[in-house]
Amino acid sequence: MADVRIERITKQFGQAIAVNDLSLHVRDHEFVSLLGPSGCGKTTTMRCVAGLERPDAGQIFIGERDVTTLLPRDRDVALVFQSYALYPHMTTRNNIGYPLRLRGMDKPKRDAAVEETAMMFGIDELLERFPRQLSGGQQQRVALSRAVVRQPRAFLMDEPLSNIDALLRVTMRAELKRLQQQLGITTIFVTHDQVEALTLSDRIVVMEFGTVQQVGKPLEIYRQPANLFVARFVGSPPMNFFEGELRSEAGETVFVSDMLRVPVVAPRHAPANRVTLGVRPESLTVESAPSDGATRAKIALLEPLGYETIVHATIGSDVVRSRVADGEDLAVDQDVWLRIGSELLFDTQSGVLLS
Amino acid sequence: MSVRSLPLATNRPGRWQAVQHLWQIPEQRLALLLLLPSLLVVLLTMLYPLIVTIRMALSSERGQFVGLGNLTRLATTNIFLESMSFTLRFSAFVVIVSLLLGLGLALVVNSIYVPMKTLWITILIIPLMVSDIVSAVVWRLMYHPTIGILNYALSLVGLPRVDWLGKSSTAFFSVGIIEIWRSAPFFFIMLYAALQLIPPDVYESASVDGAGGVRAFFDMTLPYLRPVMTVALMLQFIGATRAFGIIVGATEGGPGRATWTISYFIYRYAFRAQQMHFASAAVLVLVLLTIVAGVLFFRFVWVQRDAA
Amino acid sequence: MQPNASASNAGKRALVYLVLALALIWTLFPIYWVVVTSLKSNAELAASTPSLLPLQPVLDGYRTVIERGIPRMALNSVIVAVGTTIVSLALAVPGSYGLTRLGLPRRIGTPLALAIGFALIFPAIAIVVPMFQLAVRLGIYDQLGTLILLNVPFNAAFALWVLRTVWMDIPRNIEEAALLDGDTRFTAFRRVLLPAMLPSLIAVAVLVFIFTWNEFLFALIFSTSPRAMTLPIGIAAQVPQHELSWQIVAAAGTVALVPVVAATVLLQRYLVRGLTFGMAK
Does some domain include residue A130?
Answer: yes
Beta strands A77-80; A57-62: pairing state: unpaired
Determine, yes or no, domain membership for A227: yes
Let me know whether A190 and A265 are in one domain: no
Contacts of B42 in chain C (CB under 8 A): 115-116, 119, 153, 156-157, 160
Which residues face A13 on adjacent strands?
A16
pLDDT at A87 over 60: yes
Q: How confident is the model at residue B254 (pLDDT cuts 50, 70, 90)?
A: confident
Neighbours of A27 (CB within 10 A): 13
A132 and A87 co-located in one domain: yes
| A150 with B3: Cβ contact below 8 A | yes
Domain of A298? 240-347
- Pick out chain C residues at pLDDT < 50: 1-3, 281
pLDDT of residue C219: 95
In a domain, A210, yes or no: yes
Break chain C down into helix, strand, coil percent, rounded to 5: 75, 0, 25
Q: Which of A233, A261, A287 is the last residue of a domain?
A: A233
Do A224 and A249 reside in the same domain of the chain? no
Contact C148, C209 (CB under 8 A): no
Alpha helices (H) along chain B = 17-22, 27-57, 69-75, 78-110, 117-124, 126-129, 132-143, 149-156, 168-196, 200-208, 214-216, 222-241, 245-250, 262-267, 276-307
Which residues from chain C sit within 8 angstroms of residue A83, using beta carbons?
171, 173
- Cα gap C36→C49, rounded to integer Å: 14
Verdict on whether the full-model pTM lies above 0.90: no
Please determine, for residue A178, whether its predicted confidence score (pLDDT) is greater than 90: no
Chains sharing 3 or more CB pairs under 8 A with chain A: B, C
Q: Is the pLDDT of residue B11 over 50?
A: no
Q: Do C131 and B238 touch (CB under 8 A)?
A: no
A251 with A214, same domain: the answer is no
Q: Is residue A93 scored above 60 in pLDDT?
A: yes
Same-domain pairing of A67 and A200: yes
* Whole-number pLDDT of residue B13: 47
Contacts A–B by Cβ distance under 8 A: 33
Kindly list the structural domains of chain B, giving each domain's residue range(s) and its CATH number in brackets, ordered by start: 73-307 (1.10.3720.10)
Provide the number of structural domains found in chain A.
2
* Cα three-residue angle B248-B252-B255, rounded to 5 degrees: 150
A15 part of a folded domain: yes
- A352 assigned to some structural domain: no
Indicate whether A32 and A148 sit together in one domain.
yes
Q: Are residues A272 and A180 in the same domain?
A: no
Is A162 in the same domain as A260? no
Same domain, residue pair A228 and A250 = no
Among the candidates A176, A204, A233, a domain finishes at A233
Which of these, C186, A103, C178, A71, lies nearest to B20 by C-alpha position?
A: C186
Query: What is the per-residue pLDDT across B152-190, written as a single tens digit (0 to 9) for each?
Result: 888 888 788 888 888 888 899 999 999 999 999 999 999
Of the given ranges (A78-87, A117-126, B199-208), which has the lowest mean pLDDT? B199-208
Average of pLDDT values for A17-37?
93
Q: Is the pLDDT of residue A143 over 90?
A: yes
**Residue pairs between chains A and C whose CB atoms are closer than 8 Å:** 62
The residue-averaged pLDDT of A140-151 equals: 91
Query: What pLDDT digit, counting tens, does each position of A194-235 carry?
Result: 999 999 999 999 999 999 999 999 999 999 999 999 999 998
Report how far residue C237's alpha carbon sits from residue C239's, in angstroms, rounded to the nearest whole number. Answer: 6
Say what the pLDDT of residue B302 is. Answer: 63
| Mean pLDDT, residues A83-95 taken together | 92
Cβ contact, residue pair C180, A51, below 8 Å: yes
Lowest model confidence (mean pLDDT) among A134-143, B123-132, B298-307: B298-307
Query: Is A252 in the same domain as A274?
Result: yes
Q: Which of A233, A260, A290 is the last residue of a domain?
A: A233
More confident residue, C239 or B26: C239
Q: Using the 8-state DSSP alphabet, how is residue B68 labeled?
A: T
Measure the CA–CA gap between A96 and A110, rounded to whole angstroms.
Answer: 9
The answer on A253 and A156 residing in a single domain is no
* Identity of the residue in A104, A112, A116 whose CB atom sits nearest the CB atom of B6: A104
**Chain C residues with beta carbon closer than 8 angstroms to that of B245:** 216-217, 232
Q: Is residue A127 part of a domain?
A: yes
| Average pLDDT score over residue span B81-97 | 95
The SS3 assignment for B212 reads coil
Query: What is the homologous superfamily of the domain C69-237 according to CATH?
Result: MetI-like (1.10.3720.10)
pLDDT above 80 for A1: no
Could you write out the three-class secondary structure of A173-200? HHHHHHHHHHHCCEEEEEECCHHHHHHH
pLDDT for A269 beyond 80: no
Percent of chain B whose predicted confidence (pLDDT) is above 90: 46
Which residue, B46, B32, B282, is CA-closest to C154? B46
Is A23 in the same domain as A70?
Answer: yes
